[in-house]
Amino acid sequence: MNDQALLRFSRQIMLEPIEIEGQERLLASHALVIGAGGLGSPVALYLAAAGVGRLTLADDDAVELSNLQRQIAHGQADIGRLKAESARDAALALNPDCRISAITERLDGEALARAVEAADLVLDCTDRFTSRYAINAACRAAGRPLVSGAAIRFGGQLAVFDPREPESPCYACLYPPGAPGEDEELRCAENGVVAPLVGLIGSFQALEAVKLLSGAGSAHQGLSTFDGLKGEWRRFRVPRDPDCPVCGQY
């Protein structure tokens, strides 16, 4: 690190669980953020600001006026732009030394597998079960940690799935394919969401990513849910399912 980097990240470097070694690990790391909307916005901004050296932002959608209520990486002038490119520019404005790539096509199949394989960690900021299952399977196959977040109406949740840990479950252990509610999309367009909620859950995702990449502390365990109307967090244990169709084969 040069003097400017030491100054930029000084408030993290002074933290004993991170220090210079942890910050250097962040600078050498690569995070894949899938979804550059409500959750992906704070994730991209905080990871760039915190010093993650390389980010890949994937989203095939364009910015609309209704997004601006909560998707803080985008502004009025970005309406009509692709979200991955708009979020990339917003993150670069915070930290121009971060290497950021924008993928403006939907990641699936081999393209998803390659993108996951190229990253050290994946953050699922999507809003469809189909996408979540595909991302989970790709992370299991590549052995990459997955930080999953969701937010709808006044409620949110976060879980970390780390295939490097033998007892870690995967997303399919939590929500088995074919279970009731699988076909119910988690989209804000149909259900609505209060603006700060996505910032709260996205920030939680970014925090877990910083911990995992820097080696600070221990990763989140189980499932945490947040009730925004009551201001209450709850945590649930999520055991690994030995019969899981995804992680049961590993």
Residue 56: partners with Cβ closer than 8 Å, 6 or more residues away: 30, 31, 32, 33, 100, 101, 102, 103, 115, 118, 119
Average model confidence (pLDDT) across the chain: 94
Percentage of the residues of the chain whose pLDDT score is greater than 90 = 90
CA-to-CA distance for 226 and 199, rounded, in angstroms?
13
Residue 155 backbone dihedrals phi, psi, to 5 degrees: -125, 145
Give pLDDT, residue 187: 60
Q: How many CB atoms lie within 10 A of CB 126?
A: 25
Q: Which of the residues 98, 139, 188, 244 is marked catalytic?
A: 188
pLDDT at position 182 over 90: no
Q: How many CB atoms lie within 10 A of CB 72?
A: 20
Residue 177: partners with Cβ closer than 8 Å, 6 or more residues away: 133, 245
Give the full edge-to-edge strand order of the sheet including 146-152. Answer: 99-103, 54-58, 30-34, 121-124, 146-152, 155-161, 223-227, 232-236
pLDDT at position 87 over 50: yes
pLDDT at position 243 over 50: yes
Distance, CA of 180 to chain centre: 25
Percentage of the residues of the chain whose pLDDT score is greater than 70 = 95
Beta bridge partners of 235: 224
Residue predicted with more confidence, 180 or 235? 235
Does the active-site annotation cover 188?
yes
- The length of the chain, given as a count of residues: 250
Mean pLDDT of 148-155: 96
Give pLDDT, residue 249: 75
| Cα-based distances in Å from 197 to 88, 149, 200 | 22, 11, 5
Mean pLDDT of 115-142: 96
Give pLDDT, residue 153: 94
Give pLDDT, residue 188: 58
| Chain segment 6-18, per-residue pLDDT in tens | 999 999 999 999 9
Give pLDDT, residue 185: 52
With bands split at pLDDT 50, 70 and 90, how would you rate the model's confidence at 183? Answer: very low
pLDDT at position 184 over 80: no
Which residue, 18, 47, 31, is CA-closest to 144?
A: 31
Mean pLDDT of 225-243: 95
Mean pLDDT of 201-209: 98
| Cα-based distances in Å from 25 to 89, 119, 200 | 24, 14, 25
Cβ–Cβ under 8 Å, residues 224 and 209: no
CATH numbers and ranges of domains, the chain: 16-249 (3.40.50.720)
Structure pTM? 0.95
Cβ–Cβ under 8 Å, residues 140 and 117: no
pLDDT at position 240 over 70: yes
